[in-house]
Amino acid sequence: MDPPERAAIPELVTAADITSALNSSDFRLSPLEKVALGLAKALFVVITAVLTTIIIDWLIHRPTEPAISGLKPDEQKLVIENFKLMSDVVWERTSRTFDLIVIKALLPVFATIVGYLLGKRS
């Protein structure tokens, strides 16, 4: 039985190596790759804007913490349960909105377009 081969040690690449490789004349993006890169940048901006809007909406609509001092223990329990229920409703709305817009709409369309652009051989 032969001994197992040792895994090759990966080459150490520094940030300066990457920058110089990107700026060299040997590295050029095809027109379709440039379009895909532009779409990726645009999608990043759109998802960031959508996520920011969703977070702001959640911050505005989340219930405030109830004041339970001075209430009887049964009333405190009821107030806390109602607060938890309202919080769950707002969080569910927020997570559904994110799922609908980002996960089910933007990312599949982006993946389809960029997959086509990068998979197309010109």
Q: What is the pLDDT of residues 5-51, one digit of tens each?
A: 776 787 888 888 877 877 776 677 788 888 888 888 999 999 999 99
- Half-sphere exposure of residue 32, counting CA atoms within 13 Å on the CB side? 10
Q: What is the pLDDT of residues 77-111, one digit of tens each?
A: 999 999 999 999 999 999 999 999 999 999 999 99
Asked if pLDDT for residue 122 goes beyond 80, the answer is no
Sign of the alpha-carbon dihedral angle for 81, 84, 90, 92? negative
pLDDT at 50: 94
Q: What is the pLDDT of residues 42-81, one digit of tens each?
A: 999 999 999 999 999 999 999 999 888 888 999 999 999 9
- pTM of the shown model: 0.67
pLDDT at 101: 93
pLDDT at 18: 76
User: How many helices (H) and strands (E) in the chain?
Assistant: 4, 0
pLDDT at 108: 92
Token pair, residue 61, equals: 């609509």
